[in-house]
């Protein structure tokens, strides 16, 4: 029976990592990977995480199941982080938190929740979007459609986005990236979020907000502007939050599905459905990452340490964005690429064509995805001028 099953190509990023590892060019630069890198090219364990983990090892007394919603303390610390400590939604008990295996797990819960409970509702995704979004909603059986996000020059196309949102049938789901849009790096301004809210309200859309990079853009609170605006001004919303990047606990699979309902009673209804979805997928989420997040957010000292490390990461990325544009100045390309300093998060749509990306790889040992998406955290003070020179060579 297996003989008729065809092989599918592997993840393009994994192929890129393999090719990078094989490359013997001593100046090679990896701008492909999807994780944060420090100045030495490492993805280290954060100090606050290490401290929380050593305490956990000392104090842990059981490894029993934690339940389909996860550790109840997890929701108590993550909800205020996402929605704001003084959120009216929290005060009204309208938000439910279900701990999930990463942002991906939370998205799959959201997709299954929509498929089971909101039959006939389609989902609208930005073009481009994180490629896994497509697979997750397909796998759950939710029909998807696109709204434009960049124009033909690879710049934010807000007018195009809004025009399409205005045509979405009432009751459909619209997926919005809260901040640090992956893969483009283009985020909405506050005024643009306000306009999105108006359309969501007037078309009666259900917003699903993917919040994978809280704290990586402009700050923990600042990055939540769109999330909180929508949460506070619509009756119903879905939010998927990830702790992978902001706590650097990628492999611990820690995230959260947040369901906001019009009142507490209805919240308890939808919450019960989220538990069933979780149980049918994996029963209980992994506990360790959630325990680390709880420990950090509940302890003032650890929280302050974590905040300062998160700030360090964010400032490094935003500093590298500015330095990269500076490094292009000698080639007269700083204005053409000035938008890179304005983008947010780890990723940048550089606007480079697949052919230019291929030349960067073949001639200079610089690796990035063929869409022209670069991981800015792969830049370093040492390689910036080399990358700038290479880019000047391929764009001229």
Q: Using alpha carbons, select from 75, 104, 37, 18 the residue that is nearest to residue 258.
A: 75
Catalytic, out of 124, 157, 193, 245: 245
Catalytic residue flag (residue 245): yes
Give the nearest distance from C-beta 211 to ligand PLP in angstroms: 8
- Closest contact distance (angstroms) between CB of 343 and ligand PLP is 14
For residues 159 and 199, give the distance between their C-alpha atoms in angstroms, rounded to a whole number.
12
Examine residue 242 and tell whether it contacts ligand PLP (CB under 6 A): yes
Cα gap 313→319, rounded to integer Å: 10
What part of residues 116-135 is at the interface with ligand PLP (CB under 6 A)?
130
> Per the residue annotation, which of 210, 223, 295, 306 is the catalytic one?
210
Residue 124's DSSP bridge partners are 145, 174
**294, HSE (Cβ side, Cα atoms, 13 Å):** 16
Residues between 199 and 218 that touch ligand PLP (CB under 6 A): 210, 212
By CB under 6 A, how many residues form the interface with ligand PLP?
13
Q: Using the rule CB under 6 A, is 96 a contact of ligand PLP?
A: no
Closest distance to ligand PLP from the beta carbon of 105 (Å): 7
Q: One symbol per residue from 151 to 190: x for binding ligand PLP (CB under 6 A), - otherwise; what is it? A: --------------------------x----x--------
Q: Cα(267)–Cα(174) distance, rounded to whole angstroms?
A: 20
- Residue from 304, 283, 302, 286 nearest 294 by CA: 302
> Judging by beta carbons within 10 Å of its beta carbon (0-12, 13-18, 19+), is residue 353 exposed, middle or buried?
middle
| Spatial separation of the C-alpha atoms in residues 357 and 68, rounded to whole Å | 44
Span of 70-78, 97-105, 300-308, 379-387 interacting with ligand PLP by CB under 6 A: 97-105
Residue 290 touching ligand PLP (CB under 6 A):
no
List of residues contacting ligand PLP (CB under 6 A)? 34, 102-104, 130, 177, 182, 210, 212, 242, 244, 250, 255
């Amino acid at each position: 029976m297996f003989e008729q099953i065809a092989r599918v190509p592997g993840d393009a990023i994994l192929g890129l990592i393999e090719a990078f590892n094989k490359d013997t060019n001593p100046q090679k630069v990896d701008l492909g990977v999807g994780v944060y890198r420090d100045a030495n090219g490492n993805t280290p364990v954060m100090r606050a995480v290490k401290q929380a983990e050593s305490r956990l090892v000392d104090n842990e007394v059981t490894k029993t199941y934690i339940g389909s919603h996860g550790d109840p303390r997890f929701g108590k610390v993550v909800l205020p982080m996402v929605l704001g400590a003084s959120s009216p939604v929290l005060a009204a008990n309208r938000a439910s938190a279900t701990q999930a295996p990463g942002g991906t797990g939370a998205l799959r819960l959201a997709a299954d929740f929509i498929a089971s409970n909101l039959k006939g509702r389609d989902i609208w995704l930005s073009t481009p979007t994180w490629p896994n979004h497509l697979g997750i909603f397909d796998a759950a059986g939710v029909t998807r459609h696109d709204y434009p996000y960049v124009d033909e020059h690879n710049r934010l196309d807000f007018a195009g986005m809004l025009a399409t949102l205005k045509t979405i049938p009432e009751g459909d789901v619209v997926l919005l990236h809260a901040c640090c849009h992956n893969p483009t790096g283009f985020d909405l301004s506050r005024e643009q979020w306000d306009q999105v809210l108006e359309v969501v309200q007037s078309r009666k859309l259900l917003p699903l907000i993917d919040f994978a990079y809280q704290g990586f853009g402009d700050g923990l609170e600042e990055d939540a502007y769109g999330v909180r605006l929508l949460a506070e001004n619509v009756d119903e919303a879905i939010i998927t939050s990830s702790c992978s990047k902001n706590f650097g606990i990628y492999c611990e699979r820690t995230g959260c599905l947040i369901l906001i309902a019009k009142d507490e009673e209805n919240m308890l209804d939808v919450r019960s459905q989220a538990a069933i979805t979780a149980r049918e997928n994996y029963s209980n989420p992994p506990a360790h990452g959630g325990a680390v997040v709880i420990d950090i957010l509940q302890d003032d000292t650890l929280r302050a340490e974590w905040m300062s490390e998160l700030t360090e990461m964010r400032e490094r990325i935003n500093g590298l964005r500015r330095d990269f544009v500076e490094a292009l100045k000698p080639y007269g390309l700083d204005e053409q690429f000035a938008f890179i300093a304005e983008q947010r998060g780890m990723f940048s749509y550089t606007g480079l064509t697949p052919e230019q990306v291929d030349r960067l790889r073949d001639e200079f040992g610089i690796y990035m995805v063929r869409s022209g998406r670069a991981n800015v955290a792969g830049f370093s003070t040492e390689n910036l001028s080399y990358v700038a020179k290479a880019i000047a060579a391929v764009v001229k």
